[in-house]
């Protein structure tokens, strides 16, 4: 997290999260999706986002989200979490929600690999935790 906190503006700065204040302000719901430990991380994220941003969050297994057709409201942001950038179900879930016209954000622990870039997510954020 070194170099990502801006004490002067009391905020965090993540490369790739290129949402304007207006776009962020229009988000009414967030869906976090992933598999394995990324899904467990999403559960923690659910509590933190709801507590700090006061935005409703739901967590979905990517393997289920990719095949279901859940009702997703217009101003929903879908976060796909993956450690490697190569988790097939997470990639497919992001592609499918993007295809349906929803805003998607890919969050990866490593520099996003080519397979992860194929999701078509407009925004990407590389955490590089523990690397």
- Tell me whether residue 86 is in a domain: yes
Q: How many domains does the chain have?
A: 1
- Tell me whether residue 18 is in a domain: no
pLDDT digits (tens, 9 = 90+) for 66-117: 888 888 998 999 988 887 666 788 888 988 888 888 888 887 766 555 445 5
- Tell me whether residue 58 is in a domain: yes
Residue 80 near residue 104, CB atoms below 8 Å:
yes
- Report which listed range, 56-60, 74-78, 83-87, 125-129, is most confident: 56-60
- Tell me whether residue 4 is in a domain: no
Residue 66 near residue 89, CB atoms below 8 Å:
yes
Residue 84's CATH number: 3.40.50.10490
- CA torsion angle 110 115 120 122 (round to 10): 10
Q: Which of 73, 118, 119, 75 is nearest to 96 (CA)?
A: 119
**Residue 42 belongs to domain spanning:** 28-65+72-126
pLDDT-derived band at 17 (thresholds 50, 70, 90) equals: low
Q: pLDDT at position 130, please?
A: 45
- Tell me whether residue 102 is in a domain: yes
Residue 32 near residue 42, CB atoms below 8 Å:
yes
Mean pLDDT across the chain: 77
- Tell me whether residue 76 is in a domain: yes
């Amino acid at each position: 997290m070194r170099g990502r906190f801006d004490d002067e503006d009391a905020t965090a700065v993540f490369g790739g999260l290129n949402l304007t204040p207006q776009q962020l302000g229009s988000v009414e719901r967030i869906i976090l999706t992933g598999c394995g430990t990324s899904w467990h991380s999403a559960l923690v994220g659910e509590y933190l986002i709801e507590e700090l941003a006061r935005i409703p969050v739901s967590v979905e297994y990517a393997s289920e989200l990719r095949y279901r057709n859940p009702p997703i409201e217009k101003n929903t942001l879908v976060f796909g979490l993956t450690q490697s950038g190569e988790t097939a179900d997470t990639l497919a879930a992001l592609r499918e929600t993007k295809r349906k016209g929803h805003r998607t954000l890919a969050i990866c622990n490593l520099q996003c690999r080519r397979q992860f870039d194929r999701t078509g997510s407009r925004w990407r954020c590389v955490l590089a935790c523990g690397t």
